[in-house]
Amino acid sequence: MARNYKEIATQLEASLGLNVTPLAITFSKSAPAGVPHYDAPIPAPTPDGRTGPVSAGCVFWMKATERTFTTNAADHANCSVGSFTHGFKTLEEAAKGADIAAMVECNWVSPDVFPLITHIKEKPGAVTYGPLAEASDPDVIFLRLNPKQAMVLVDGLQGVRFEGKPQCHIIPIAKELGQVAISFGCMASRVRTAMPNGEMTLAIPAGKIDEVVAALQKSAPAEYAVAGYAADDAKRFV
């Protein structure tokens, strides 16, 4: 039976008190019919040939909160890291980017970790982004959380994986490895997306969303009950 993702989005928002609507991310061999392609002005390419309608694929997380659109390799091309994690470039191709060179030069990352970064195995023809409530068959469910919301989720769900940079590799961790993953973020992504400092990101494999929702429905009421008790108890100290 097909899942009702509109209902699931509502359940996630209610259990976690989300400030940002849940997103759906879908990989496909070709652009889905009837879904508009993301369209924006494209700046002149850098000397190494990088350009695109956004500075990095993670920017699409910010654009997709209100509408569904599809993207291709060229739309992700300004960020060599994201092009690799999303399967659009091989590690060898991505490593040639001037952006990667700049990150290595300032010691932000070391080349020896590149082979350890999880990435999409099969090169997609398209990646579609949009509100979860509009999705029909996503690969990854993506949330932007504050620390309190992450606390509620992790308290109720075992086995959540915590990651740092690059922020975008939690998407292939969810899709390829079937693991729920949180990223504290990375500086490149935070600057490019203008994501608030108080937010982190979460990627859920679509196949595990029922488990996540069930865990939250059990744990969230307990969390908020404890919050009420602690608030009442603290009144004695005012």
pLDDT at 11 > cutoff 70: yes
The dihedral through the CA atoms of 135, 202, 177, 121 has a sign that is positive
In sequence order, which ranges of the chain are alpha helices (DSSP H)?
5-16, 60-63, 73-76, 80-85, 91-94, 98-105, 147-156, 170-177, 187-193, 209-234
pLDDT digits (tens, 9 = 90+) for 195-226: 999 999 999 999 999 999 999 999 999 999 99
Summarised one tens digit per residue, pLDDT across range 126-162 is 999 999 999 999 999 999 999 999 999 999 998 999 9
Tell me what pLDDT residue 2 has: 80
DSSP at 37: B
Q: Taking residues 169-180, what's their average pLDDT?
A: 98
What does the pLDDT read at residue 204?
Answer: 98
For the stretch 166-185, what's the b/e string if a residue is b when 16 or more beta carbons lie within 10 angstroms of its beta carbon?
bbbbbbbbbbbeebbbbbeb
Q: What local confidence, expressed as pLDDT, does residue 1 receive?
A: 59
Q: Decide: helix, strand or coil at residue 152.
A: helix
Q: Which two tokens stand for residue 3?
A: 């899942």
pLDDT for position 229: 97
